[in-house]
A = this chain, B = another copy of it.
Amino acid sequence: MSAASNSLLVGDWGTSSLRLWRLAPDGGVLAEARGADGLTTVADRAFEAVLERHLATLGAGSGEPVVLCGMVGARTGWVEAAYLPVPLDLAGIAPEATRVPGIRRPVFILPGLSQNDPARPDVMRGEETQLLGLAALEGGTPSGLVCMPGTHSKWVRLDEGRLSGFSTAMTGEVFALLRRHSVLAGVLDGQALADPASAAFVGAVRESLEAPAEVLSRLFALRAGFLLHGTPPSENLSRLSGLLIGAEIAAARSRWGNLDGVRLVASGAMAEVYLAALQAAGIHNPSVSDADACSRAGLLLAARRLTARSASEAAA
C-alpha cells in the first residue's frame, strides 16, 4: 500500500472527458488527472488500459479500489450500471454500485437514475452523484429545486433528501448543433459562451420567458438581423445562448412552478451564465454550488461506503 493508504480514488468518466482524483478522507484533493479520453474516444473497448494509464499518474497501488460515476455506466459505456427508479432517497445510490467484472482491481460504477413515468420518461448519469455530494456538503437532507446546466441540463426536485422527480432540457446540445451545423453558424462568434452581462443576453432570456412558444422563430431572426442590420457575431452568440437558456427556464417554470431559491450546480463560466439568466428571469435567491466539488463530495461518500464493503469482502 502507498503512503496515501487512507486516501480514496474516484472519478467521473463521461462521453467527452475523464477526470480522476485522489481524495483525502476529508475530501481534499491530493492529486488530479484529467484527460480528453472520453468514452467515445476509447478504441476496441480498451477501457481498463485507459483507466490504468491515468491511475498510474496518480500513483495508484495495483489493488486500490476506484469508484466511478457518469456515462461509463451507460449501455454504450464500459459496464452497464442499472438505473435506479425515482423517487428514491439519495442515500440509496451508493450501495447499488456495479463492480466491473473480470479485472483484478476493484472498480465500482455508480448507478444512474430513471424516471419511468410513461408521460415523462427521463434518465440521468453522473448528476445523481453531484446531488449526493450537494446533500453531503450542505450536511442535511435538502429540499427544493436544483438546476444542473450542461449538454443535457437537469432540473431536479428534492424533498428532504429524497429525489422526487426531474426533467432534462437539451439546451447545451441544441446550442452546439445550431452553432456548428446550422444556417446560423456563419453569424455566430466562435467564442465558448455568451457574455452574461450583455444586454443581448439578458434581453434574449426575457424574450424567451415572455413568449416561450416563439423561441424556434426567434432563432432565424439571428440570421436575418445579421443580413439586414449587421448584428455582430458576438452579440448573436449571446442572444442565442439567452434565447435557449430562457427557454429552459420557461420550461422549468412550466413544469416545476416557482423557481425561487433554486440551487444552481455549475462551475466556472457556465455558473456565471446561468446565474445571470436566473437573475434576468426575476428568480429570487438562487444559490450556486460548484459542480466539481459536488461530484467529488458525492464520489467520496460513495467510495467510503464501497471501499469499506470491498475491504470486508476481502477479509472474509
Chain A residues with a Cβ under 8 A of chain B = 75, 83, 114-116, 118, 120-123, 152, 167-171, 173-174, 177-178, 181-183, 211-217, 219-221, 223-225, 227-229, 244, 247-248, 250-251, 253-255
A169 lies within 8 A of B217 (CB): yes
Are A248 and B120 CB-contacts (below 8 A) given A173-B183, A177-B182? no
Say whether chain A's binding surface is mostly helix, strand, loop, or mixed.
helix
What's the number of copies of this chain in the assembled complex? 2
Are A251 and B183 CB-contacts (below 8 A) given A121-B225, A224-B168? no
A211 lies within 8 A of B254 (CB): yes
Closest chain B residue to A114, Cβ basis: B228
- Bound together, the chains give a CA A183 to CA B227 distance in angstroms of 31
A148 to chain B, nearest CB (A): 13
Are A216 and B170 CB-contacts (below 8 A) given A177-B181, A178-B177, A228-B114? yes
A217 to chain B, nearest CB (A): 5
Q: Which residues of B contact A253 (CB under 8 A)?
A: 213
Q: Which residues of B contact A225 (CB under 8 A)?
A: 118, 121
A266 to chain B, nearest CB (A): 18
